[in-house]
Structure 1
Amino acid sequence: MEAAQKKTQQLIDDNAVMVFSKSYCPYCNNTKRILDGLNAKYKAVELNEEDDGDDIQNALHKMTGQRTVPNIFINRVHIGGNSDLEAVVKNGKNGKKIEELLKEAGAL
């Protein structure tokens, strides 16, 4: 479990936008469509295709309290899931529009 926690944190630290996903999940696919539509650079890890995917999902749950995917981070800040990302696109976060957050993260 400790190895999965380290790997998870490293992925979050190394990527401006990090999406923990499952390839068959419609909400995950919508998140990736939104990010693609914004021309955002992001890394997606499909947990169902990783040998340690369950361990990573458990580490994410421990870190964020969120058990579901997608589990999204922008600039190392936990955004949440797909509906949370949709809310940020619509309303911004902490007074910043999604484009500002992505630019600050170096993802645009």
Structure 2
Amino acid sequence: MAAKDIVEKAITDNKIVVFSKSYCPYCNKAKKLLDSLSAKYTAFELDQREDGSAIQQYLREKTGQNTVPNIFVKEQHVGGCDDLHAANSSGKLQKLLQ
């Protein structure tokens, strides 16, 4: 399956998707926040996948974001770790999760 198809299917099929790297402290901080909210999410650990770099390249084209985590909630691009925490602080995240 092509990287584009993997990403688009993941975004469509899951309420929350975190494209992550297992060693990334910002990815872990974002996942920890979602865990604290008891929000179920699907994580794609790009450093543990053979197609991880292709997926990250497609995400760069799709979102303009070069870094991980790259987070989607209900098919809406939230952004990275700081964006997720800002959305949580402002109440936007809770509205998206309803």
Partner of 1:46: 45
Q: Show structure 1 runs of 4+ deviating over 4 A.
A: none
Gaps of 5+ in 2: none
Partner of 2:96: 101
Within 5 Å, which residues of 2 pair with 1:1-108?
A: 3-93=2-92, 98-103=93-98
Decide which structure has the larger Cα Rg and report it.
1
TM-score by length of 1: 0.87
Q: Secondary structure at the match of 1:32?
A: helix
Letter in 1 for 2:80: G
TM-score by length of 2: 0.96
CA–CA distance in 2 between the matches of 1:100 and 1:83?
A: 18
Aligned-residue Cα RMSD (Å) equals 1.1
Q: Aligned-pair distance for 1:99?
A: 2.2
Q: Secondary structure at the match of 2:44?
A: strand
Letter in 1 for 2:70: N
% identity of equivalent residues = 51
Q: Secondary structure at the match of 1:35?
A: helix
Letter in 1 for 2:54: D
Q: Aligned-pair distance for 1:6?
A: 1.0
Q: Aligned-pair distance for 1:64?
A: 0.2
Letter in 2 for 1:83: D
